[in-house]
Structure 1
């Protein structure tokens, strides 16, 4: 089990119970997990980020120790409720990161309050390219929420299926970590409402990606079986602020499979220090994916006189 002690918090906002882990002080960064996870999705990144940031990692609505009401689980609705939670704990401007379904919610948060999001780290979710045949569970869960609930009710089996089929085999979390993930997906009520994320997705409001002008880092698992590398190509045509695509030697669960690489990539990005020549970008360069901003940036060299002379 994890040897690190984390600080846990709870509150209720507009009738919805929230549980979150919070560490560190400074500018806020909000970390959103996907399925079948909890705040622990980010447990290996939190200590690094907390050295300089106020790290807030909630259990999303329906997961972990947060509330599990029946009702509306459209992504735009959950995004608005998550913003109400952030308002309640005094978060105005913030960095944002999402993994898997957490990206769906995070995209909708940017759509609602782009002016409040300083930087955005988007992990392991398609954007402009998507083939349903790679992710048959999306439509099956959406059409069969009761049957999906039955499968999810056996958290041990359900979590293992996810990690056995989604990780690069040699990078899969060990048994102790799997037990942590399973425990957090075992709370009563999770299996009743998490399928609603799938069945309600078409009720969500469209996202206007032209609003994504803040610096954006996309992290992609090279061996993600449901997200081929083609999904990472061309994102710069749809996200104005995209600064780089970071391909890591992992499957889908990059925060567990390559914890140090992801923590470093996040920390360096938040400091504007993700230089394209870093070895961390070796796989990105191999696939000829962007490793530096695709848009023009203002010149701020140390020899402005020479730069002005050359320009004239």
Structure 2
């Protein structure tokens, strides 16, 4: 099976194939220094981070995988629940020889980032989570008052979305990219990479498997939150539409939480407002590191 092309989009970014938890992950790596692991969402690949990786790489070793089943990573039959994705990330850091890392997740990357931080506080130095919800944890009731976004149900029905979208994947991906940037759109090279990554029935099956695993992920999140806390410095970042809902979910579980909002920004923060995101990430990730703090 030929997976989509995943060529680097910026100088200094290299791609590696790394085996972890029964899959082979396509991983973009840049820079040297303390590790930062970036976990994307839907409908994205590692190139979601292409606008922020070069600046982060000035001070950090930046590690941005394609999540299981997405981009050029293995299109696995299963393992799309948050706990399995956290295990993927843990194995990836181990394979790269990283004993600790700051972990940044957005959208579908947030639940595995959260679970990894809860179960491996020795591994996760700092945690940043953005524009997502953590299953049924309290705090997001206002956001969910009208029900979850319409596509959650559409994606959750086995086989349905794949059938309906066949031949129209590009238009569907474009809708998310346009809506997620308040109409501003994303760079052509990134848009084309996302379109390619989500074209074909098997690519769509893997994408929607992340949604079909949400009930399992929700139970995993509840169980983990009942027995552990976030002991590392944590930041939540909201924009539109999630806003402060994620912060409200995380605050009762975190010993040290900073909540931030990015104004006039769509859901796809790293591409819609990369400079504003870097202004938040840079100082937070560098804090406490010799030679980087301040």
Q: Which has the larger radius of gyration?
A: 1
CA contact (8 A) 2:243 2:261 kept: no
CA contact (8 A) 2:266 2:272 kept: yes
Query: Paired residue for 1:45?
Result: 52
Query: Paired residue for 1:200?
Result: 213
Query: Paired residue for 1:115?
Result: 122
CA gap of 1:229–1:26, structure 2 versus 1, over 3 A, is closer
Query: Paired residue for 1:300?
Result: none
Partners of 2:281 and 2:147 in 1: CA distance: 31
**How many residues are matched?**
268
Partners of 2:39 and 2:26 in 1: CA distance: 12
Query: Paired residue for 2:279?
Result: 264
1:229: how far off?
4.7
1:235: how far off?
4.5
Q: Find the partner of 1:251 among 237, 250, 266.
A: 266
| Secondary structure in 1 matching 2:121 | helix
Partners of 1:11 and 1:229 in 2: CA distance: 35
1:270: how far off?
1.4
Question: Is residue 163 from structure 1 mapped to residue 177 from structure 2 by the alignment?
Answer: yes
Question: Is residue 36 from structure 1 mapped to residue 43 from structure 2 by the alignment?
Answer: yes
Partners of 1:12 and 1:2 in 2: CA distance: 20
- What is the CA RMSD across the aligned residues, in angstroms? 2.5
Question: Is residue 133 from structure 1 mapped to residue 139 from structure 2 by the alignment?
Answer: no
1:38: how far off?
0.5
1:188: how far off?
7.2
CA gap of 1:146–1:200, structure 2 versus 1, over 3 A, is same
CA contact (8 A) 1:114 1:211 kept: no
Q: Find the partner of 1:93 among 79, 100, 105.
A: 100
CA contact (8 A) 1:217 1:246 kept: no
Query: Paired residue for 2:4?
Result: none
Query: Paired residue for 1:191?
Result: 204
CA contact (8 A) 1:65 1:187 kept: no
CA gap of 1:152–1:82, structure 2 versus 1, over 3 A, is farther
CA gap of 1:72–1:2, structure 2 versus 1, over 3 A, is closer
CA contact (8 A) 1:219 1:248 kept: no
Partners of 1:58 and 1:2 in 2: CA distance: 12
CA contact (8 A) 1:103 1:122 kept: yes
1:254: how far off?
0.7
Give the alignment's TM-score, normalised by structure 1: 0.78
Query: Paired residue for 1:302?
Result: none
Query: Paired residue for 1:59?
Result: 66
Gaps of 5+ in 1: 274-312
Query: Paired residue for 2:10?
Result: 4
1:92-139 CA deviation, whole Å, 9 max, x = no partner?
Answer: 211000011110111121122122111111111134314162412223
